[in-house]
């Protein structure tokens, strides 16, 4: 699986980075995880065709992870998409999405593709061919069913994406060997990420959700050695698992 960082910013708007969005290419289709502000523009900038996106996975409804959804859906119908599109959403959003679309004078019944709005079921994976994404409820938002981290699996390889978390404790449930950890660094520090990785034998880390002004050089000095690699993602970077 190949993961492209479409947007790597923190919650603050950045001149250098778009808000959170990952593009995941697998042997069983291509997917977007999160669609923060600038997601549609980021996709165009990276030359990703809109029709290549098979489904959207939204971790939680904070604007820096989901406010790009409406412009993105607009691009799908302007691109005359015909393949069905499923958007996996937190519980409350799945029920309100049609109302939100109508606020923007968008009527999905008139679109050339079938829009399917589906709520995440905690721990229940979504599978397409050999690819699987499993939502792990995390404590970032106070209500149940509203905020998720993800375990991505394909061909015996596993990647964990934290999305937003206020601690890494819940990720201990991720289980199995994790070949890559993609962690945010807005709500947790690099020290915590490294400690968690060492405790869980994770040697490959990419950090995203990066506030402007982060002194990445000093943060990199905290890497303990012993084969652990950590890098700070930039928009457009790719990583293969
Ligand atoms: Zn965030
Ligand atoms: Zn958040």
The CATH number of residue 14's host domain is 3.60.15.10
Exposed / middle / buried, residue 148 (Cβ in 10 Å: 0-12, 13-18, 19+)? buried
Determine the 3-state secondary structure of 31 from DSSP.
strand
Is the predicted pLDDT of residue 164 greater than 90, yes or no? Answer: yes
- Which pTM was predicted? 0.96
Is the predicted pLDDT of residue 29 greater than 80, yes or no? Answer: yes
Please state the rounded mean pLDDT for residues 203-224: 95
Determine the 3-state secondary structure of 29 from DSSP.
strand
Compute the distance from residue 226 Cα to the ligand 1 centre, in Å.
30
Is the predicted pLDDT of residue 170 greater than 90, yes or no? Answer: no
Q: Which two tokens stand for residue 16?
A: 């250098």
Enclosing H/E stretch for 63: helix 63-66
Compute the distance from residue 59 Cα to the ligand 2 centre, in Å.
9
pLDDT at 213: 96
Compute the distance from residue 226 Cα to the ligand 2 centre, in Å.
32
CA angle 218, 222, 228 (to 5 degrees): 125
Neighbouring residues of 225: CB distance < 8 A, sequence distance ≥ 6: none
The answer to whether 150 and 59 have CB atoms below 8 angstroms apart is yes
pLDDT at 225: 83
Closest CA to 23 of 12, 9, 14, 1: 1
pLDDT band at 229 (very low <50, low <70, confident <90, very high): very high
Tens digit of each residue's pLDDT (9 = 90 or more) over 39-54: 999 999 999 999 999 9
The answer to whether 18 and 49 have CB atoms below 8 angstroms apart is no
Cα–Cα distance measured from residue 20 to residue 62, given in angstroms and rounded to the nearest whole number: 10
How many domains does the structure of the chain reveal? Answer: 1
The answer to whether 90 and 105 have CB atoms below 8 angstroms apart is no
pLDDT at 174: 81
Q: Which domain holds residue 211?
A: 2-240
pLDDT at 172: 84
Q: Which two tokens stand for residue 217?
A: 């050089």
Compute the distance from residue 225 Cα to the ligand 2 centre, in Å.
31
Cα–Cα distance measured from residue 5 to residue 234, given in angstroms and rounded to the nearest whole number: 7
Ligand closest to the CA atom of residue 62: 2
Compute the distance from residue 188 Cα to the ligand 1 centre, in Å.
11
Question: What is the overall mean pLDDT for the chain?
Answer: 95
pLDDT at 197: 94
The environment of the single-atom ion ligand 2, i.e. residues with CB closer than 5 A, is: 62, 164
Compute the distance from residue 10 Cα to the ligand 2 centre, in Å.
9
Compute the distance from residue 83 Cα to the ligand 2 centre, in Å.
30
Compute the distance from residue 139 Cα to the ligand 1 centre, in Å.
13
pLDDT at 173: 78
């Amino acid at each position: 699986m190949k993961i492209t960082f479409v947007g790597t910013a923190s919650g603050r708007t950045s001149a250098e980075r778009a808000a959170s969005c990952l593009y995941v290419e697998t042997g069983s289709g291509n997917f977007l995880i999160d669609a923060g502000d600038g997601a549609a523009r980021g996709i165009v900038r990276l030359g990703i065709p809109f029709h290549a996106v098979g489904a959207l996975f939204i971790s939680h409804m904070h604007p820096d992870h989901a406010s790009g959804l409406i412009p993105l859906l607009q691009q799908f119908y302007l691109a005359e998409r015909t393949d069905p599109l499923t958007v996996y959403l937190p519980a409350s959003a799945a029920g309100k999405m049609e109302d939100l679309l109508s606020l923007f004078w968008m009527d999905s019944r008139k679109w050339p593709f079938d829009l399917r709005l589906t709520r995440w079921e905690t721990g229940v994976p979504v599978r397409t061919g050999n690819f699987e994404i499993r939502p792990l409820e995390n404590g970032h938002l106070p209500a149940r069913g509203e905020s998720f981290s993800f375990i991505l699996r394909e061909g015996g390889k596993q990647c964990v994406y934290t999305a937003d978390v206020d601690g890494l404790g819940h990720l201990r449930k991720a289980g199995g060997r994790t070949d890559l950890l993609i962690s945010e660094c807005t709500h947790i520090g690099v020290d915590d990420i490294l400690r968690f990785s060492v405790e869980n034998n994770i040697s490959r880390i990419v950090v995203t959700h990066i506030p402007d002004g982060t002194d990445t050089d000093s943060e990199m000095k905290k890497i303990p050695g012993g084969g652990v690699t950590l890098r700070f993602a930039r928009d457009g970077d790719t990583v293969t698992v």
